[in-house]
Structure 1
């Protein structure tokens, strides 16, 4: 039995589909079962609730061989660090209680970074705590998600531009969520691996944001430019959308770490996933852009 958290999220939903396609027995933990696709509800066992709740985990983990762990974002959390650790404490204790053998978590690349990194530091702390569970553990150590750009489809469509705080002429490590889901599926269905380790997983490109804009332009067949914004400008945008001071700090620290090269130390030795940025643009971004314009 494989237990999946966040089954309706961008990564979790793809992971669930892959495992069901392989006829694997899965159990999912979902805060709102009504959001789960009907086909999944017919094939998977569903435990409703949040996976930071020990009672929910005690319903989900009996008989589990492996667990996929992802902490859902909570912009309203007073502390991102405490948000991640509250999930990790509950998870580690439950994994130990139920003797779950294999644990795969979604984390960030950059373990060993010594400066504050906001949300990324919280992910590193989560990994350390989950490792106390006694399960063999792989932390999928990930860079910038290509899917983050889907949040800028309106700007791309209306203004022909997307924005980040990153230098336009500096390569930015990226990863497609479908490759995260496939790697997680491979690990969760293979009981032969052992030990506890971080697994940096990067896409095959070494594109700069300016280079990404060129690819997007070619695939969408319209000019798209990259616009670098200052961290202070990004912080002001967050505040205008209701983010509190602590959340702004957590997110801007993460961006500062990204801008400062937090991913660079492991890039050369990372496992390389198959989906390149052009393929992702053609198969994911372009259809999404067409859907929003229709």
Structure 2
């Protein structure tokens, strides 16, 4: 079975690669910078250096594959949604030109809104483009990554995380490794076709104060959260070096999904995954603090 994997050094992609290797598959990995792959991984994969926003390069890199794991690459530019659109053109071109049998697309909870959810709107656009092709595709509607806390290490060390999400509104928290296991199961299984949507909700829905209490207990560091206004968060994000366009895209992911948003896919045994925030915080976050 020939499987291609994008973003092989990303939070989810690196686990997809490792899981495929354990399953006995030698994946083809599409990497913008192959030098970021660990030497021991480089020996076990077929690497193609490619920009995912270059349709001709992506078509060439995915020739002959049976299944594709696709992540729209993140954008740090002024117009993130335009960058998502460029990646979508590459993906659609590859699926159509190469007749790829199965595509697993890493989407997000909130993509079902289609509009009004900031950066998630870019993922919604990719979903719609694949659906219009009539491709055999699974859209993974993922919850809030545990690893987002690694982007806030200074705040965690200081013991206070500012958020614009309502403190009494729960959201699905999920480990990227669990997303990868779900993705690999779909990539390896040939007994499905058509359009599928599979939510990946993690083990539990948590409010931000509940998550902070769990992280505090697991790391041994006091941690609390404080809700701030949207403009205050904009100032914080701009101070971190984000462009104005990216700031609005990031802010929109929260403002578009708060105030009563309910995911299209309910929590079920199919959408619930095992890794707890406590286990992840103890094993991954604690050593980094």
Distance 1:247 1:24 in 2: 37
1:146 match = 146
How far apart, CA to CA, are the structure 2 residues paired with 1:222 and 1:243? 28
Partner of 1:83: 83
- Aligned residue for 2:112, secondary structure, equals coil
The C-alpha deviation readout for 1:108-127, integer Å capped at 9, x for no partner, is 11243265111111111111
Once the two structures are overlaid, the 10-residue window that deviates more, 226-235 or 53-62, is 53-62
> Measured at CA, do residues 31 and 263 of structure 1 come closer, stay the same or move farther in structure 2, by a change above 3 Å?
farther
CA distance in 2, matches of 1:37, 1:207: 34
Partner of 1:121: 121
Q: Is the 8 A contact 1:165 1:231 kept in 2?
A: yes
1:215-247 deviation digits (Å, cap 9, x = unpaired): 112112232112222221111122223433322
Kept in 2, the 8 Å contact 1:47–1:56? The answer is no
* 1:292 alignment partner in structure 2: none
* Matches of 1:215 and 1:112, distance apart in 2: 29
Q: Which residue of 1 aligns with 2:109?
A: 109
CA–CA distance in structure 2, aligned partners of residues 114 and 46 of structure 1? 34
Counterpart contact for 2:110–2:257, Cα < 8 Å:
no
* Structure 2 residue 25 is the aligned partner of structure 1 residue 24: yes
State the partner residue of 2:15: 14
Q: Confirm or deny: 8 A CA contact 2:169 2:207 kept in the other structure.
A: yes
Query: Normalising to structure 1: TM-score of the pair?
Result: 0.91
TM-score (norm 2): 0.93
Distance (whole Å) between structure 2 residues aligned to residue 71 and residue 54 of structure 1: 13
In structure 2, what is the Cα distance between the partners aligned to 1:175 and 1:44?
27
Conservation of the 8 A alpha-carbon contact between 1:80 and 1:118 = no
The CA deviation at 1:15 is: 0.8
Alignment of 1:43-54 (within 5 A): 43-54=44-55
Name the CA distance, whole Å, in 1 between partners of 2:266 and 2:277. 16
| Alpha-carbon distance between aligned partners in 1 of 2:20 and 2:112, rounded to the nearest angstrom | 32
Check whether the contact 1:171–1:209 (CA below 8 A) recurs between aligned residues: yes
Unaligned stretches of 5+ residues in structure 1: 290-294
Q: Equivalent residue of 2:204, what SS? A: coil
CA RMSD of aligned residues (A): 1.8
How many aligned positions are there? 287
The aligned residue for residue 246 of structure 1 is 245
Residue deviations 1:20-79 (CA, integer Å, cap 9, x gap): 121102101111111111112111111112122123223322220000000111111x32
Residue 211 to residue 69, structure 1, CA distance change in 2 (3 Å): same
Residue in structure 2 matched with residue 55 of structure 1 by the alignment: 56
Equivalent position of 1:224 in the other structure: 223
